[in-house]
Structure 1
């Protein structure tokens, strides 16, 4: 049985900076000979963040910008793996999280809800915790 994929939309972004050391001459020789195949570690990045932060200036023109947005959206929503309902749920969940008060949003996002219903339950739980705390503080003897 195949392992379950990462939770929908929960991939991480990894940025790698490569610097060239000027003191060490570059030797193209190792690249001219066939090398045994060694799998590279999977780089983890968040297509949702790339989609949401994509800027027009990053593309060579309007057609390339649209094509890149389509590809990033496809990588984020993964229509080959997820149903239409799952993709809609992801979009609605993101929008719901975006309209929450900032402090609430930060806490709910830290709990990594996978659905809108789970996010609502977290907001309700947080409201109950805050309400209970405020009630206890108000009732404390002075």
Structure 2
């Protein structure tokens, strides 16, 4: 997959008292898009239940650059920034761009996979690894090695 993006029309319910996009909506849009990407690759909620795995987040950070108003239309993309070789841990980046191309916000997340029965981190199976392998990669993509505990 070379690039995944979607256009979003801002809703009235997404606006805060300052008449711009509420901060928490950026996180909601990012989460919805990530699940759409996984689902379009075949990793549906039904598959996640079958595998007894779920994506979890360690960190979610938004960097706000420009206001997004009700009348704005934004394009949201996602790219894999770094990952372990087995795709057990990963970092993704979203860009929120206004219709004129202005970067409005960046959303960075660090995540992993959790075994839902053991409630512990788990390595993804081949099905999930193949989907993550096809994820669009950022320009600064890197493979990371985790240090093993002594």
TM-score range, shorter chain: under 0.3
- Higher RCO structure, 1 or 2 (CA under 8 Å, sep 6+): 2
Which structure has the highest strand share of the two?
2
Which has the higher Rg, Structure 1 or Structure 2?
Answer: 1
TM-score (norm 2): 0.23
TM-score, with structure 1 as normaliser: 0.24
